[in-house]
Amino acid sequence: MTIDAIVVGGGINGLTAAATLARAGVAVRVYEQAATVGGGCRSAELTDDGLLHDVCASVVPLTVASPFFSELGLENLGVELVWPEVQFAHPVDAVRAAIVRRSVEDTAASLGKDAGAYRAMVEQFLPRIDYLVDFVTGPLLRWPGDVATAVRFGSRAVLSADLLARRFSTEEAKAIIGGCAAHSTARPRAAATGGFAIFLALLAHSAGWPFVVGGTQRITDGLADYIRANGGEIVTGHAVSRLEELPAARAVLLDVMPAALLRMAGDHLPAAYRWQLGRWKHAPGVCKVDFSLSEPVPWLNKELALAGTLHLGGTAADIARAEDACNNGLHPDRPFVLAAQATLFDQTRAPGGGHTLWTYCHVPNGSTVDMSERIIAEVERYAPAFRDVIRRTHVRTSADYQQYNPNFVGGDITGGAPTLLQTAVRPALTFPPYRTPLKGVYLCSAATPPGAGVHGMSGHRAALSALHHEFGKRPTSKQSAGNSSAT
């Protein structure tokens, strides 16, 4: 086969890049170092035989919102989604919890005197959610199109979560902000953490926070089938160390982190670009604990059993302390824990019965500490009989994650620390950001805009850029999901 383009790395972004190229008629080959494609989008029997766990990503609001997947149609990849009744919940003590449903009205009604402030925060943006998704899933340094909406959203998004939470008086409403912002791994006092919070809350009321029936790996498996059906080739078990090893091709797209690009091609890159890549900072890591359970978690507050995702760790102030600790290189006694209970909504993952609980907490980058006892203690605050239903646990520390996937540097799952600078300039000041100074070489990983998550937009936009600059193909509306002005 004559190869026109090569993709290194078969994560969600490498695969969306390859799918975009293959659909445009480009002969593409993907090299993946692991035995299977998927990267952070894989599912496996981590505990009991037959019980399926999501190894990394599990909750997929960004897949639903993604312009790439909307245009391609998830159903065309054989992907089916299931939405919980409650998109996410955040207990602030053993009985009280913020309960976020698809309906803004129902969510606001549960927030007492913060109902009006919550509605004001989300309702002004929901009518323009498609525009906002398109804008924030691309490079932020570009002409925004709808200037009025961009300025209105930007003026709130640039706030810290801490400042944004001060608009509310109930612990529940503050927790919605603190919990959503904490996904970013940044300190809640950091600029732009408010933007993460508003955007994730908006997704709860638009795309929702669903699971993939049968595990998130169905998305990457579906993409792999799509690439092959469009003439592409996938080679697994093949790690690429240097660009010189690759067969000749007009374009090379790299689903790798900046430090890996330096190792692969550093001596060929201009000094100014090398310097920028060398300054790329990574975020705290995660320690993930997967549980197999004999029964669902016995929550004291029964509404928590309706939620797909839970934010645990106490009030917004408690979570701020935990996130500060991780950013200071400390392991918090009471960590911020993200939990998901997929089998309550997708029984195909547990054909033999039983349940899973997917959890992870933030820890310092590179940590080797097993946080399972601290995670169990946090769940027990809201479900004192939790330990009685645990059958088995599977633990992966931050150091293990880097071993599992070299893109998770020190266990950082966000593709780089989400500072204001690194959010705006990912990973270096080039236009478009996917293009490197090397002719035909592109970066397409989560270290490029828009960053982490199962949306595939880094790969898709990098591929559009390559189609334009290397193949002289202006993407048609069929090939170009979303605003392609930044390619």
CB of 418 to ligand FAD, least distance (A): 12
Q: How far is CA 214 from the centre of its chain?
A: 19
Check binding of 192 to ligand FAD (CB under 6 A).
no
Binding status of residue 312 toward ligand FAD by CB under 6 A: no
Confirm or reject binding of residue 288 to ligand FAD (CB under 6 A): yes
Q: Which of 47, 66, 367, 405 binds ligand FAD (CB under 6 A)?
A: 405
| DSSP line for 315-382 | SHHHHHHHHHHHHTT---SS--EEEE-GGGT-GGG-TTS-EEEEEEEEE-TT-----HHHHHHHHHHH
Give the distance, in angstroms, between the CA of residue 313 and the centroid of all CA atoms in the same chain.
20
Closest separation in Å from C-beta 59 to ligand FAD = 4
Q: Is 136 in the site for ligand FAD (CB under 6 A)?
A: no
Is 236 one of the binding residues for ligand FAD (CB under 6 A)?
Answer: no
DSSP 192-220: THHHHHHHHHHHHHTT---EETT-THHHH
Q: Does residue 360 touch ligand FAD according to CB under 6 A? A: yes
Q: Any residues with CB less than 8 A from the CB of 182 and at least 6 apart, and which?
A: 161, 188, 311, 313, 319, 322, 323, 336, 362
| 453 lies in the site for ligand FAD, by CB under 6 A | yes
| Distance in angstroms (rounded) separating the CA atoms of residues 57 and 298 | 24
Indicate whether 255 belongs to the interface with ligand FAD (CB under 6 A): yes
Residues 5, 14, 462, 469: which binds ligand FAD (CB under 6 A)?
14
Span near ligand FAD by CB under 6 A; candidates 289-297, 364-372, 384-392, 401-409 = 401-409
Q: How far apart are CA 475 and CA 487, in angstroms?
A: 10
Single out the residue of 28, 46, 59, 177 in contact with ligand FAD (rule: CB under 6 A).
Answer: 59
Residue 210 binds to ligand FAD (criterion: CB under 6 A): no
- The residue count of the chain comes to 487
Secondary structure class of 249 (helix, strand, coil): coil
- Residue among 21, 22, 26, 34 that touches ligand FAD (CB under 6 A): 34
Q: Pick from 160, 445, 479, 487 the residue near ligand FAD by CB under 6 A.
A: 445
The label of the residue with tokens 């310097």 reads 275
Distance CA 423, CA 425 (A): 6
SS3 (DSSP) at 292: strand
The amino acid sitting at 346 is: D
**211 counts as binding ligand FAD under rule CB under 6 A:** no
Nearer to ligand FAD, 111 or 342 (CB): 342
**Selected binder of ligand FAD within 22, 24, 46, 62 (CB under 6 A):** 62
Q: Is 12 in the site for ligand FAD (CB under 6 A)?
A: yes
* Binding status of residue 452 toward ligand FAD by CB under 6 A: yes
The residues that touch ligand FAD, with contacts defined as CB under 6 A, are 8-14, 31-34, 39-41, 56-60, 62, 239-240, 255-256, 260, 286, 288, 360, 401, 405-408, 413, 445-446, 452-454
